[in-house]
Amino acid sequence: KAGVTQTPRYLIKTRGQQVTLSCSPISGHRSVSWYQQTPGQGLQFLFEYFSETQRNKGNFPGRFSGRQFSNSRSEMNVSTLELGDSALYLCASSLQPGQGNTGELFFGEGSRLTVL
């Protein structure tokens, strides 16, 4: 079974630009969540999608947005990039809540964004 796939793995942008990151979950997983990881703030929850609906959102500005498609693939977008947005962005998928789901997350390898 293929794991969670994130693309691109590495990217460099300049301030003011925007970026789109993609995440393909494990087959059969319908919940996708996104996290930002930085040395200073650690791992922070961005948002979670299930059946194309955002169900939970972390404490990030509106520049951070996402969506989920009918095949459960998800994208996140960051507009008007700032230097502080440099981070490893991790995507995780999981089974549908309930139905014996114990909350285990399956992570991709991340997209490392550098903002210059």
Strand pairing class (106-107; 42-50): unpaired
Closer by beta carbon to another protein, 18 or else 41: 41
10 and 87 Cβ atoms separated by less than 8 Å: no
By CB under 8 A, name the one of 27, 97, 114, 116 that touches another protein.
Answer: 97
By CB under 8 A, name the one of 27, 101, 114, 116 that touches another protein.
Answer: 101
Residue 92: CB minimum distance to another protein, A: 8
77 and 62 Cβ atoms separated by less than 8 Å: no
Show Cβ contacts of residue 24 under 8 Å, excluding neighbours closer than 6 positions: 4, 5, 6, 73
Residue numbers at the binding site for another protein (CB under 8 A):
4, 6, 33, 35, 42-45, 48, 50, 55-56, 58, 88, 90, 92, 97-98, 101-110, 112
